[in-house]
Amino acid sequence: WGMEYRNNGGYKIPALGLGTYTVTNETELTSALDEALRIGYRHIDTASRYKNEHIVGKVLNEWISSGKVKREDLFVTTKLASADVFPDRVENALKSSLLKLRLDYVDLYLIHFPVATGVENGADVAYPTDLVGVWRKMEEQVEAGRAKTIGVSNFNITQISRIKKIAKIQPANVQVEMHLYFQQKELRNFANENNLTVVAYSPLGTPGVNKYFLSKNITQVKLPDILHDEVVDKIAQKHKKTNAQIALRFIIQSGLVAIPKSTNPKRLRENIDIFDFSLDDEDMQKLADLDKGKKAKIFTMQYIAPNIVENSEYPFHDNI
Ligand code: A2P
């Protein structure tokens, strides 16, 4: 496909990877991973929280042990679950992920959220935690060879800066929601100045989110849909590509990494088939103008929608 790579803390990260969030059905994920690897995906994103590391591990192990792919040609990311965002839990959490993944190391280990969470009386609660202490333990994972690089997810600039100030091993990567309607320009500039790779999750703006809202009886919010956006439609027609491909190409051409999730063979192929064309300056400008700022932050909306969407600033605990 003419895959591009970014420099992730001295290691090459493929600019297009496969997201696996919400896929826990073994048959579905196994066939998606097999197909993805077969057609050239080499970057897989999972997390302890997704409860599918054991499935990813089984497939990767088959591919590696049969010699169909070399471990060093894969880029595997997993994440420290928020229940484990405490200094004394980091090492065991990663060891447990590695056992499930059947790997000796991950290429990237991320703190999934800047908060520690637990369940009290059946409800989710967030605890303040010692992020600096957690980062020290993340660094130890690199020293022990269990992670090639470390980084953060769902952190804002203030939170990343706090870690950068004390880090002996700098965060290589920040993974956040990022798509045409929520372009994260400030965070991207910060990442650029500080040598952090940006990985965009929900790069298609989570098509189907409106259905999700309806299933939760949330009728007040209906999000615009990148896959049916007139500006994107026109640019897609011009390049004979789909709207999804334009949305992904915009991210790639902005120097970022995208990890669209799909388990559908046709869409898996569609999503990686974005390295044979370029958007021109005018296209890029029109697409940049689609940014709707915080209002389009889908992730926040799912969790705290809809009543405080307008005012909310995810992550919830800016001051920890
Ligand atoms: P599916 O697995 O059936 O392909 P995001 O990563 O932005 O959250 O989007 C993931 C969602 O978008 C999934 O529901 C996925 O469904 C769907 N999807 C993935 N690729 C495409 C595509 N090329 N066109 C339309 N929908 C897509």
Q: How confident is the model at residue 277 (pLDDT cuts 50, 70, 90)?
A: very high
Q: Is the ipTM of this complex over 0.95?
A: yes
Least confident span in 58-62, 84-88, 251-255, 283-287: 84-88
Closest approach atom of ligand 1 to CA 204: 7
The CA 241 to ligand 1 mean position distance, Å, reads 16
Residues 274, 17 contacting (CB under 8 angstroms): no
Q: How confident is the model at residue 127 (pLDDT cuts 50, 70, 90)?
A: confident
Cβ burial, residue 77 (10 Å; 0-12/13-18/19+) = buried
Q: How confident is the model at residue 180 (pLDDT cuts 50, 70, 90)?
A: very high
For residue 199, the SS3 value is strand
Q: What is the pLDDT of residues 74-98, one digit of tens each?
A: 999 999 998 999 999 999 999 999 9
pLDDT of 306: 38
Closest approach atom of ligand 1 to CA 271: 23
162 vs 310: which has the higher pLDDT: 162
Residue numbering of the annotated binding site: 112
Residues 174, 201 contacting (CB under 8 angstroms): no
Q: Ligand 1: which residue has its CA nearest to atom 2?
A: 262
Residue 60 has pLDDT above 70, yes or no: yes
Q: Ligand 1: which residue has its CA nearest to atom 26?
A: 207
The CA 112 to ligand 1 mean position distance, Å, reads 22
Residues 248, 226 contacting (CB under 8 angstroms): no
Residue numbering of the annotated binding site for substrate: 112
Residue 124 has pLDDT above 90, yes or no: no
Does the pTM of the predicted model rise above 0.90? Answer: yes
Least confident span in 4-18, 154-168, 205-219, 282-296: 205-219
Annotate 264-292 with DSSP letters as a single string: -HHHHHHHH--SS----HHHHHHHHTT--
Q: What is the pLDDT of residues 278-300, one digit of tens each?
A: 999 999 999 999 998 877 777 65
Which tokens belong to 157?
């600039």
Annotate 27-94 with DSSP letters as a single string: HHHHHHHHHHHHHT--EEE--GGGT-HHHHHHHHHHHHHTTSS-GGG-EEEEEE-GGG-SGGGHHHHH
Ligand 1 binding pocket includes 317 (Cβ within 6 Å): no
Ligand 1 binding pocket includes 269 (Cβ within 6 Å): no
Ligand 1 binding pocket includes 261 (Cβ within 6 Å): yes
**Beta-carbon contacts of residue 50 (< 8 Å; ≥ 6 apart):** 20, 21, 22, 23, 24
Mean pLDDT of 189-209: 93
pLDDT of 318: 39
pLDDT of 315: 42
The CA 319 to ligand 1 mean position distance, Å, reads 34
The CA 185 to ligand 1 mean position distance, Å, reads 23
Q: Ligand 1: which residue has its CA nearest to atom 9?
A: 206
Closest approach atom of ligand 1 to CA 268: 20
Q: Which percentage of the chain shows pLDDT scores above 90?
A: 74
Ligand 1 binding pocket includes 20 (Cβ within 6 Å): no
Element (H, E) at 19: strand 18-19
pLDDT of 302: 52
Residue 309 has pLDDT above 50, yes or no: no
The CA 117 to ligand 1 mean position distance, Å, reads 28
Ligand 1 binding pocket includes 202 (Cβ within 6 Å): yes
Q: What is the pLDDT of residues 22-45, one digit of tens each?
A: 899 999 999 999 999 999 999 999
**Of 50, 109, 181, 201, catalytic:** 50
pLDDT of 10: 95
Q: How confident is the model at residue 125 (pLDDT cuts 50, 70, 90)?
A: confident
Closest approach atom of ligand 1 to CA 242: 23
pLDDT of 274: 98
50 annotated active-site: yes
Mean pLDDT of 103-127: 85
pLDDT of 129: 77
Ligand 1 binding pocket includes 291 (Cβ within 6 Å): no
Cβ burial, residue 164 (10 Å; 0-12/13-18/19+) = middle
pLDDT of 316: 40
